[in-house]
Amino acid sequence: MNARFTGQTALVTGAAGGIGSAIARALAAEGARVGLIDFDAQAGGRLEASLRAQGRDACFAQADVSRFDACQAAYDLIARTLGEPGILVNNVGISPKTAGRALKVWEMPPQEWDRVVSVNLNSAFYLTRLASPGMVRERRGRIINMSSVAGKAYCDIVAAHYAATKAGLIGLTRHWAAELGEYEVTVNAIAPGRISTPLLKTVPQEINDAVTRVTAMRRLGTPEEVADACLFFASDEARFVTGQVLDVAGGWLMT
């Protein structure tokens, strides 16, 4: 078996979701110890148990990543249990809709705006703030931010808060790549297109079908296809790749 991550600790946020769990499983399958952070205690606990049953080292920490103190407690538990992570995947993200529809600016409750910014964007800062000192000290690190094609091109399926946070993650990717490069820490982003996960169920099926029709590959992506790109950025093969955004979108939008 190809085990590119033996001896390394990885931390994945939103780890119990469609893409997060595929990334956690793929990293674990290649030898990484995986720290799992998610709001959903049941799904997170199940993932931890299933990885352990396969003989993998995994540690689940329940946390609401929109709060720094919760991120700190989860990070500390994982670092104590598995060692400080050299791979950080800022994967968590939400895209709220109301009755299957993205709200316009004049309809948007400020609380919803704040929630999306804190879950999608602030959490990436919180976890990177916590994990980067260890990476700088070790002079090795991989940070992968989960953006979206909706952070690069206008997409009417999502609301402005989602697009703004996903564009913000690209800004953070470039800025942190510049700050951390001299310490051999790379920072890259993935921009998935339409990927078959529970998040897609926030909109009616016709909308997903319409995307499929204008996607070059005429299908939705799978979480495993996003995980493959993530593992590339996390690997040694990508050691001189930093500040980049990779679309994993089957040719949708081609941003």
Ligand X SMILES: NC(=O)c1ccc[n+]([C@@H]2O[C@H](COP(=O)([O-])OP(=O)(O)OC[C@H]3O[C@@H](n4cnc5c(N)ncnc54)[C@H](O)[C@@H]3O)[C@@H](O)[C@H]2O)c1
Give catalytic residue positions.
Answer: 162
Q: Which of 106, 111, 182, 198 binds ligand X (CB under 6 A)?
A: 198
* Residue 16 binds ligand X (CB under 6 A): yes
Single out the residue of 51, 49, 11, 7 nearest to residue 32, CA to CA: 7
148 lines the binding site for ligand X (CB under 6 A):
yes
C-beta of 115 vs 140, nearer to ligand X: 115
Q: Which is nearer to ligand X, 20 or 134 (CB)?
A: 20
Using CB under 6 A as the binding rule, whether residue 146 contacts ligand X is answered as yes
Q: In what order do the strands lie in the sheet with 141-146?
A: 58-62, 33-38, 9-13, 87-90, 141-146, 185-192, 245-248
- Site for ligand X contains 92 (CB under 6 A): yes
Q: What is the rounded CA–CA span in Å between residue 122 and residue 112? A: 14
Tokens representing 159 are 């609301």
Applying CB under 6 A, among 36, 47, 87, 94 the residue interacting with ligand X is 94
Number of residues engaging ligand X in binding (CB under 6 A): 29
Which CA distances in Å does 56 have to 30, 85, 158, 229, 234? 10, 16, 36, 21, 18
91 binds ligand X (CB under 6 A): yes
- Angstrom distances, CA of residue 10 to CA of 5, 50, 224, 238: 9, 17, 17, 16
Check residue 172 for interaction with ligand X (CB under 6 A): no
Tokens encoding 124: 């990436």
The reply to whether 20 sits near ligand X by the rule CB under 6 A is yes
CA-to-CA dists, residue 39 to 30, 71, 89, 101, angstroms: 25, 11, 16, 24
- Return the residue of 40, 112, 184, 228 that touches ligand X, per CB under 6 A: 40
The yes or no reply on residue 18 touching ligand X (CB under 6 A) is: yes
Reading the block at residue 51, the tokens are 């990885």
The window from 78-86, 177-185, 195-203, 237-245 that contacts ligand X (CB under 6 A) reads: 195-203
**CA nearest to 90, candidates 22, 37, 158:** 37
**What's the CA gap between 186 and 95, in Å, rounded?**
27
Query: Residue of minimal CB distance from ligand X?
Result: 17
Structure tokens at 34: 């995986």
64 binds ligand X (CB under 6 A): yes
Q: Among the candidate windows 100-108, 178-186, 187-195, 227-235, which touches ligand X by CB under 6 A?
A: 187-195
**Minimal distance in Å, beta carbon 98 to ligand X?**
17
Determine if 197 is a binding residue for ligand X (CB under 6 A). Answer: yes
Identify which range of 58-66, 79-87, 104-112, 173-181 contacts ligand X by CB under 6 A.
58-66
Q: Name the site residues for ligand X (rule: CB under 6 A).
A: 14, 16-20, 38-40, 43, 63-66, 91-95, 119, 146, 148, 192, 194-195, 197-200
